[in-house]
Amino acid sequence: MAIPSTAATGDPETTAVDGIAEFGTIDTDETELASRLRLAVTRLHRRLRQHAAGGLTQTQASALASIGQLGSPTLGTLAARESVQPPSMTRIVGALEELGHVSRVIDSADRRVARVTLTAQGHEVLQRSRSLKNAFLAQQLHRLPPDERQALGNLTVLLERLVSLDEP
């Protein structure tokens, strides 16, 4: 919950985020923009999920995509990436293994470590899912006038920058 605060800045156009002191004071326009942006991205993400292939749960699809991005992660690395506990990731990977989408391989440098890799079928499911999502989004973009598509192109650059601000 946001509460008006002028204590930090003396400016009535700033907001302190109640219970989240780490964020300090935020301009009310930025808070409103953040709220609208979060909602739009959430809705877009939900629509894209509806166009995924493979009959996977959202958790399985996300783990499969992360494995594709990371290459051959350990279960611990994958669990951290997906923000789940290692036992949960073990179950997720087990389900993906049963479907034939991933396999576990022993690390050649450290035989105590198991890595998760995509199988050919997993690559295919991942590629098909991405293609379906891209086709849906391209179709939606095609419905917009050229100037709005250009604005979204510019926004994409800013969103990529925004996402990378907290990366190490």
Q: Given a cut of 60, is residue 5 above it in pLDDT?
A: no
Q: How far apart are CA 48 and CA 136, in angstroms?
A: 8
Indicate the pLDDT class of residue 4, thresholds 50, 70 and 90.
very low
Q: Which domains are assigned to the chain?
A: 1-50 (no CATH), 55-153 (1.10.10.10)
CB 29 within 8 A of CB 13: yes
**Residues recorded for the chain:** 168
pLDDT above 90 coverage of the chain, percent: 70
> Cα 40 from chain centroid?
14
CB 82 within 8 A of CB 63: yes
Q: For position 3, what pLDDT does the model report?
A: 39
Q: For position 168, what pLDDT does the model report?
A: 61
Q: For position 80, what pLDDT does the model report?
A: 95
Q: Which residue has the higher pLDDT, 91 or 51?
A: 91
Q: For position 49, what pLDDT does the model report?
A: 86
Q: For position 24, what pLDDT does the model report?
A: 64
> Which whole number is the average pLDDT over 76-87?
95
Q: How far apart are CA 143 and CA 138, in angstroms?
A: 9
Q: For position 12, what pLDDT does the model report?
A: 45
Q: Given a cut of 60, is residue 15 above it in pLDDT?
A: no
Indicate the pLDDT class of residue 1, thresholds 50, 70 and 90.
very low
Q: Given a cut of 80, is residue 108 above it in pLDDT?
A: yes
pLDDT above 70 coverage of the chain, percent: 83
